[in-house]
Amino acid sequence: DAGITQSPRHKVTETGTPVTLRCHQTENHRYMYWYRQDPGHGLRLIHYSYGVKDTDKGEVSDGYSVSRSKTEDFLLTLESATSSQTSVYFCAISRRTDDSPLHFGNGTRLTVT
Amino acid sequence: DQQVKQNSPSLSVQEGRISILNCDYTNSMFDYFLWYKKYPAEGPTFLISISSIKDKNEDGRFTVFLNKSAKHLSLHIVPSQPGDSAVYFCAASISNTGNQFYFGTGTSLTVIP
């Protein structure tokens, strides 16, 4: 395993509540990513980070924010959860030198009721 | 718009035979391609990659072929084993600019004993 821990592993929340998912890495990789996986859509990038306090949007960033105050931690926040954000969320890390792959955590299954 | 496409949602193969999983892409700037394997309730696991300077890369039972002119890559698994039953995602990125990896929607492989 690539030393990536996601917490919580499962969460059920109500529409309109804030939710924060955490990703912690022990590899000291510069790049961290949040993806969501949905049937028929594969894995889609939400946000990514290329260093402490350096983040950028992915293709499905609306309704999500992120923060990275330390190299090892990358937080994903849903400010006001909606049912369309019910999904499985994966954190990934990469050295991001040429030809370096992503390594994924085991995911957080989020259900918004 | 999906830049990486896997048009076969599922594939069944007899144990010992060859499994061929296909992937097409639309962005000619992609120069790094990867395959991931995913079991239920786990994160995707990196399997094999290829850069655009090559047309073939082998790792044990797994071989990835890249046809740049057709914008097509394939993963061959020989011989297929029941433990290979999983969802396989292909992914692509541009190695020198940007930091996004684009994923296909996945192909569910079942290897029948």
pLDDT at position B56: 97
By the CB < 8 Å criterion, does A41 face chain B? yes
Q: What percent of chain B has pLDDT over 70?
A: 96
pLDDT of residue B96: 65
Mean pLDDT, residues A40-48: 92
The alpha helices in chain B, defined as continuous H runs, are none
Predicted local distance difference test score (pLDDT) of residue B47: 97
Are the Cβ atoms of B43 and A102 closer than 8 angstroms? no
Q: Residue B72 pLDDT > 90, yes or no?
A: yes
Q: Which of B34, B102, B103 sits opposite A101 (nearest CB)?
A: B34
Q: Which residues of A4-32 are buried (b: 16+ CB within 10 A; e: fewer)?
A: bebeeeebebeeeeebebebbbeeebbbb
Does A98 contact B96 at a Cβ distance shorter than 8 Å? Answer: yes
**Shortest CB distance from B105 goes to which of A4, A42, A45?**
A42
Contacts of A99 in chain B (CB under 8 A): 32, 49, 51, 95
Model pLDDT for residues B40-69, shown as the tens digit of each residue: 989 999 999 999 999 999 999 999 999 999
- Which member of B42, B51, B103 has the closest CB to residue A42? B103
What pLDDT is recorded for position B2? 82
SS3 B83: helix
The more confidently predicted of residues A94 and B24 is: B24
Mean pLDDT score, B79-102: 88
Q: Mean pLDDT across the stretch B1-26?
A: 95
Would the pLDDT of B100 be above 90?
no
Tens digits of per-residue pLDDT, A66-112? Answer: 999 999 999 999 999 999 999 999 999 988 766 788 999 999 999 99
Q: What angle do CA B18, B23, B24 make, to 5 degrees?
A: 145
Residue of A nearest to B35 (CA): A101
**Most A CBs within 10 Å: which of B103, B107, B108, as the mutation test of the A interface?**
B103
Q: What does the alpha-carbon distance between residue A45 and residue A35 come to, in Å, rounded to a whole number? A: 4
CB contact under 8 A, A104 and B41: no
| Closest residue in chain B to residue A31, using alpha carbons only | B99
Lowest mean pLDDT among B17-21, B84-88, B95-99: B95-99
What integer pLDDT is reported at residue A48 of this predicted model? 93
pLDDT, tens digit (0-9, with 9 covering 90-100), for A53-73: 999 999 899 999 999 999 999
pLDDT at A2 over 70: no
Query: For position B98, what pLDDT does the model report?
Result: 55
pLDDT over 90 at A47, yes or no:
yes
- Residue type, position B86, single letter: A
Q: What is the mean pLDDT of residues B96-108?
A: 83
